Amino acid sequence: MIGSIVNGVQLFYLIYFSVMIGVYLFLCVVAVFSMRSYLRHYGVNGSAPSFTGREPSITLLIPAYNEKENILNSIRASLQLVYPDYEVIVVNDGSTDETLDILKREFNLQPCRDPYTEIIPTKPVRAIYNSIPHPKLKVIDKVNGGKGDAMNAAVNLSKGKLTCSVDSDSVLEPFSLLKAVRPFMEDDTTVVSGGQVCVLNGCEMRDGKLVKVGFPKQWLVRIQVLEYLRAYLVSRMGWSAFNALPLVSGTFGLIDKKELMRAGGFHCYTIAEDLDIVFRLHLMLRSEQRKYRIVHFPDPVCWTEVPKTFDELKRQRLDWHRALAEALMFNIKLLCNPKGGIVSWFMIPFMIVFEFFGTVVEVLGIFLIAIFALLGVLSIQALVIFTLLALAANMFLSVVSLLLEEMSFHSYPDLGSLFRLFAAVIFETPAYRLLTSYFRLLGVWDLILTYPAKAREIRKNRHL
């Protein structure tokens, strides 16, 4: 009896991880060919674009809540972008620190008389300000409502044809908008475009400009550099090739304003407003059977701070996993939707089975290994072989990510940084994976505890 259970568990895990690893390896191959195609078309570093005279207007949406430490660098970088027609709208979302006072003092803000029409319902707007020395800049001061609510207020005030969400602790490259807008100019069916987000920790900033790309000293941050490369250069490049991209990061992403408004704006009852809006656009446009594109391009266009301590990392990964669960629940109509194509029949099932439940399967597997070992029915030889194969596959994905970065944009030019990244590959695989799996499992538990209250909130605010 016990032998049959052990054999059944081993078979399940063999099939489960074989399928998961196989999909990631397939996305890896697709990403390599996509990168080659991108480099042939645009050249290394995307060849600094020039104006064509056809660029659509863009509104940068920068929500800020208690961001007095980071907000100035982000805004200064945004005001120095090379783009013919754009505006910057910063939303002080009820900050309790000196964020608004710093903005008033630094940018000479004065009350604005421009009309504000609440097309998308939001928490009350208290005031709108113009910057005297920077005509592109507007600041909204409003009651706290969360990131999605803050961005909806900015959308209501915006004049651009495209909106671009930017985190208040992120810094944009000067040509970010010119690179990000290219998919819209090359194909009028494009509705969302997002680029490579890199780790800002260890870099040198001066007056809102990234003057030197540095390499972080902390091992925890170095591993996240590797993680970001793998997520953007392999996973998102692979999904994008099939127009099944699950996420364009809220750290930096362009969205067609008309389609965003048709979808109802950003939902404010979820912490996954970026994941949620991409899912909702997939659902809306595929239900209408419209031709559309949601794309990722590999150019490094945005730099962002990542967690420096284990407590910060725990909070981030817990939030990310809960965000994934919320986005999947709120858009469950995408699952096996007859009109959904590869999004409904492959991407969403993969996200549910392997991205969300994967952490439960991994942690449960560790407990089962311990139990089977105590019972003396564990095949050590089979365990070692399977573990080594899994680690080798994960390391292969990481190494390919490094090679893609090295053959393309070469963000970390010195050999020392490159060797330290390769060292991070070895450390990241066994230890960091287990740590983040534990954090994600806490996210699952947190969701279970808070779901009843969340469901009541959704029913109460379903019009938002």
DSSP 178-236: HHHTHHHHH-TTEEEEEEEEEE-TT-EEETTEEEE----SSHHHHHHHHHHHHIIIIII
Confidence check: pLDDT of 127 > 90: yes
> Which position has the higher pLDDT, 104 or 205?
104
pLDDT band at 95 (very low <50, low <70, confident <90, very high): very high
pLDDT band at 428 (very low <50, low <70, confident <90, very high): low
Smallest CA-to-CA distance from 412 within 335, 332, 303 is with 303
Provide the b/e sequence for 413-441 (b: ≥16 CB within 10 Å): eeeebbebbeebbeebbeebeebbbebbb
Confidence check: pLDDT of 189 > 50: yes
Strands 58-64 and 190-199 come out as unpaired
DSSP letter assigned to residue 461 = T
Q: What is the pLDDT of residues 1-21, one digit of tens each?
A: 677 887 788 888 888 888 988
Smallest CA-to-CA distance from 431 within 269, 222, 123 is with 222
| Domain boundaries defined on the chain | 48-307
- The answer to whether residues 202 and 331 touch, using CB atoms and an 8 Å cutoff, is no
Q: How many CA atoms lie within 13 A of 42 on its CB side?
A: 24
* Homologous superfamily, domain 48-307: Spore Coat Polysaccharide Biosynthesis Protein SpsA; Chain A (3.90.550.10)
pLDDT band at 156 (very low <50, low <70, confident <90, very high): very high
Q: What is the pLDDT of residues 328-360, one digit of tens each?
A: 988 999 999 999 999 999 999 999 999 998 888
Confidence check: pLDDT of 188 > 60: yes
Provide the pLDDT for residue 31.
92
Average pLDDT over residues 53-82: 91
DSSP letter assigned to residue 347 = I
Q: What is the pLDDT of residues 27-38, one digit of tens each?
A: 999 999 999 888
146: left (phi over 0), alpha (psi -120 to 50) or beta: left
Q: What is the pLDDT of residues 364-380, one digit of tens each?
A: 887 887 787 777 777 77
pLDDT band at 243 (very low <50, low <70, confident <90, very high): very high
User: Which distant-in-sequence residues (6+ apart) come within 8 Å of 118 by Cβ?
Assistant: 125, 156
State the Cα–Cα distance between residues 442 and 60, nearest whole angstrom.
34
Provide the pLDDT for residue 463.
45
pLDDT band at 419 (very low <50, low <70, confident <90, very high): confident
Provide the pLDDT for residue 183.
93
- Mean pLDDT (the chain) is 86
Q: What is the pTM of this model?
A: 0.90
Most confident of 100-109, 110-119, 196-205, 439-448: 100-109
Provide the pLDDT for residue 464.
42
Q: What is the pLDDT of residues 374-398, one digit of tens each?
A: 777 777 776 777 777 777 777 788 8
Confidence check: pLDDT of 462 > 60: no
